[in-house]
């Protein structure tokens, strides 16, 4: 009998783990169906704990509690970028928690194509089985290159970056993206959305003396957005401009290499908000009675 005790304990542990797995409900969604190749693909995994007790999901260095299965349209799997370690998540009995993951940080998702993804949640205990979510489909488009320029990196004469401005039509909207590429390896440093764009006016881009990208484009019939972006893809500044009396806002490069927006009236967001508050307060006044 004594020899059977370890087997009984092991069987009980496996039963409990199996019950924990069966008593999880998990779903997956992505923030949109169409992406520009290289931009973050954000997946939201939602887990509900029906086990009747608190569960702590965590990785132990060799076993991952959360994994993803990403497949191309031809059925081939998308390769990971190395070992994935997701932080722990504690879920109380009956609670539901969500975790947002940028799939491009963990998988090689820089090429255009059609893909599907499902998440697998492994219950505490390190079993190989897990709870799978629904499978979600998404696509990646190369976009349309609108403008590009290669620049050197200050302090690194042999290294370069390429700035790109891309136009991407998504859900009947035209959008402007910025993309930074490593000139030596061709790897994408960063790809990100600048905003919706009205192509009634062509976007404009240039490089200033500090090797920063300036982009200006029409966001709605009366406003332009001006972005300044460094060689690592960090947004240094973002300003909104309105049309001046003599024409549209545009980029002006001075003789010293500095860049500014000309022919514009800077849009004061705070002042506009205060003005809207005043308008609402006036409309809240009761009508006079006679």
Q: How many residues does the chain have?
A: 290
Q: What is the pLDDT of residues 26-64, one digit of tens each?
A: 999 999 999 999 999 999 999 999 989 999 998 876 778
Count of Cβ atoms closer than 10 Å to residue 236 Cβ: 12
- How far is it, in rounded angstroms, from Cα 77 to Cα 111? 13
Closest CA to 181 of 222, 135, 233, 114: 233
Cβ pair 48, 96 in contact under 8 A: yes
Which residues of the chain form CATH 2.60.40.2970?
Answer: 2-141
Which residues make beta-bridge pairs with 24? 49
pTM: 0.78
* pLDDT in the model for residue 18: 42
Of 5-19, 34-48, 124-138, 143-157, the poorest mean pLDDT is in 5-19
Q: What is the CA radius of gyration of the chain?
A: 26
- pLDDT, tens digit, for every residue of 209-246? 999 999 999 999 999 999 999 999 999 999 999 988 88
Per CATH, the architecture of 2-141 is what?
Sandwich (2.60)
Angle ∠(276,282,286) on CA atoms, nearest 5: 145
Confidence of residue 9 (pLDDT cuts 50, 70, 90): very low
Instruction: Identify the CA nearest to 207 among candidates 257, 165, 249, 157.
Output: 257
* The pLDDT of residue 254: 97
| Buried b or exposed e, range 53-63, using 16+ CB within 10 angstroms | eebebebeeee
What is the average per-residue pLDDT within 253-276? 82
The C-alpha atoms of residue 280 and residue 276 are separated, in whole angstroms, by: 6
């Amino acid at each position: 009998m004594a020899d059977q005790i370890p087997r009984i304990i092991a069987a009980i542990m496996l039963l409990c783990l199996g019950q924990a797995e069966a008593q999880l409900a998990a779903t997956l969604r992505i923030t949109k169906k169409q992406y520009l190749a290289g931009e973050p693909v954000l997946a939201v995994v939602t887990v509900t704990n029906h086990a009747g007790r608190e569960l702590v999901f965590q990785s132990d260095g060799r076993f991952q509690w959360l994994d993803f299965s990403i497949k191309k349209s031809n059925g081939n799997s998308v390769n990971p970028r190395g070992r994935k370690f997701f932080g722990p998540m504690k879920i109380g009995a009956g609670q539901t928690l969500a975790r947002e993951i940028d799939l491009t940080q963990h998988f090689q998702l820089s090429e255009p194509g059609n893909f599907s993804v499902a998440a697998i949640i492994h219950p505490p205990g390190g079993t190989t089985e897990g709870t799978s979510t629904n499978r979600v489909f998404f696509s990646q488009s190369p976009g349309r290159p609108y403008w590009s320029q290669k620049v050197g990196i200050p302090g690194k004469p042999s290294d370069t970056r390429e700035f790109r401005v891309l136009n991407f039509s998504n859900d009947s909207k035209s959008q402007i993206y910025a993309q930074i590429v490593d000139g030596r390896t061709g790897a994408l440093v960063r790809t990100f959305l600048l905003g919706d764009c009205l192509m009634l006016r062509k976007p404009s881009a240039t490089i200033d003396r500090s090797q920063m990208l300036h982009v200006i484009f029409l966001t709605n019939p009366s406003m332009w957005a001006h972005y300044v972006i460094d060689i690592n893809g960090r947004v240094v500044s973002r300003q909104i401009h309105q049309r001046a009396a003599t024409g549209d806002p545009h980029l002006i490069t001075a003789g010293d290499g500095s860049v500014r927006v000309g022919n514009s009236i800077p849009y004061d967001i705070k002042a506009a908000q205060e003005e809207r508050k005043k308008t609402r307060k006036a409309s809240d006044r009761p009508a006079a009675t006679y």
